[in-house]
Amino acid sequence: MRKPGDLPGPLGKSSRFRRSWRWRRFWQPIAILLAELLPRLFDLILALVLLFLLAPFMAIRAVLARWRTGQVIMVSDRVGRLRSPFKLLSFADNALGRRLPVLFNIFAGNMAFAGPRPLTPEEARALRPEDSIRFCIRPGLFSPHTVRHKTGIAYDDEGELDREFYYGESTRGNAGLVARGTISSLLAGGGLREMPEQFSLLGVRIINTTMSEAIDWIIHRCRGTTSNLAAFVNPDCLNVAYKNSVYHDVLTNAACVWPDGIGINVGCRMLGLSLRENVNGTDMFPRLCERAARENISLYLLGARPDIARLAAENMRFKFPELRIAGYRDGYFSQEDEAQVIHDINQSGADVLLVAFGAPKQEVWLAGRQHELKPRVLIGVGGLFDFYSGRIPRAPVWMREIGLEWTWRLMQEPGRMWRRYVIGNPLFLFRVYRQKLAEHSA
């Protein structure tokens, strides 16, 4: 039915089209202007509120910085929007609240609360051409990369994360990034801490490395002639090893033990140490598969419920068509069948064996049969296959960014996980505290 005032036939359609086109032409510039102004308005108002609320504390910090270093403010050269240079402000000492003067940078418009990390002039000159889009927006106090770095999960390319931020920026998204950044900063703590190449937690030696270095280690060992046992440990693993001498000995004699989970990060902070990255098996698996596909490294998946290893293998082969899966089977086999299982693994020619029996069973099983197994790298991976088969969904990225993936696991399987997290996490931190007291008294 035509509306009043519409002309009949094609002329009427043309008339409605012209009115619609004029309406869009009127509102489109306003929408673009609002998209530009709203994030800036958010930054301006929040900076003013924080400067007002934190004024007494900032005055105390200024006096403290002057007393400690002889100066109040330290400035450093940075490159901002449209490659314009500016001076990044911070207090001259390294105490809590060192970065608070950056609020003046945000108020002045040099920076935003959310945006790409501000680069030094040297970093800006070395930037890849495809990453130059970051200069179309203001650099931020919180960037997607720095937020993930605080909790040790900044595995992805920083330029890629910056491009995703640019194309998806919104006031709501910026507010969410600021909230996550605040939580992750509190979790990471302030001040400078020692970053050793390895450290000991509850008597277990842990390698302090990055995800890419851990994958390099696996690929390098696959080229060797000896078998290497590697393990991931989280607070629950260390609690078990604290009481289970067999498991403790296996971890002690393993070629490599990697830190898994935010609890290890917190334990390191309690000891005055800094963890380079959260090297967990769930995040490693797809990256290992991608690298293995390029390097012609083959994997064997053993463990979990029937069909779970098969589905995980199929999903990875779909994602990485060149990936060689030498074989797979579930973890439900009898002791009488074990010899055949080991024979099948060896006959497959796999370079890496991933075993999902759950800790400590998987590490103890691998250590007891290491001399029989031909794959060069043996790794216990816990519930990894469940995630990549699709049986259990992974926690959203925002929960991982603020170190709350364990709460997601608890919600997914409360009957199985409540003891590990509700009782185990505080027990782990208490034991780390006792280790700290023992080290200080020694």
Same domain, 343 and 264: yes
Element (H, E) at 382: none
Q: Which is it for the CA torsion 318, 319, 323, 329, positive or negative?
A: negative
Same domain, 348 and 380: yes
Domain annotation covers residue 177: yes
Domain annotation covers residue 352: yes
- Residues 6 or more apart whose CB falls under 8 angstroms from that of 199 comprise 205, 206, 208, 268, 271, 273
**φ/ψ (deg, to 5) at 407:** -70, -35
Tally of domains within the chain: 2
Please report the pLDDT score of residue 37 as a whole number: 75
Model confidence at 350: pLDDT above 70: yes
Same domain, 239 and 181: no
Domain annotation covers residue 27: no
Same domain, 165 and 264: no
Question: How far apart, in whole angstroms, are the C-alpha atoms of residue 407 and residue 428?
Answer: 16
Same domain, 213 and 359: yes
Same domain, 205 and 338: yes
Q: Which of 164, 188, 212 is the last residue of a domain?
A: 188
pLDDT mean across residues, the chain:
90
Same domain, 273 and 213: yes
Domain annotation covers residue 304: yes
Q: In the structure, how many helices (H) and strands (E) does the chain have?
A: 20, 12
Q: Are 145 and 154 in contact (CB under 8 A)?
A: yes
Q: Which of 155, 188, 221 is the last residue of a domain?
A: 188
Task: Pick the more confident residue, 52 or 170.
Answer: 52
The DSSP code sequence of 93-131 is: S-STTTTTTHHHHHHHTS-EEESSPPBPHHHHHT--GGG
Q: Which of 188, 223, 242 is the last residue of a domain?
A: 188
Q: What's the pLDDT tens digit per position in 217-238?
A: 999 999 999 999 999 999 999 9
Cα 295 to chain centroid, rounded = 25
Please report the pLDDT score of residue 94 as a whole number: 85
Domain span holding position 180: 35-188
Q: Are 234 and 263 in contact (CB under 8 A)?
A: yes
Same domain, 354 and 220: yes
Q: What's the pLDDT tens digit per position in 416-430?
A: 899 999 999 999 999
Question: How far apart, in whole angstroms, are the C-alpha atoms of residue 43 and residue 111?
Answer: 9
Same domain, 221 and 100: no
Which parts of 115-219 are beta strand (E)? 140-142, 198-201, 204-207
Same domain, 118 and 62: yes
Same domain, 70 and 135: yes
Which parts of 342-431 are beta strand (E)? 352-356, 377-380
Domain annotation covers residue 270: yes
Same domain, 270 and 333: yes
User: Quick one: which of 352, 223, 367 has its CA closest to 288?
Assistant: 352
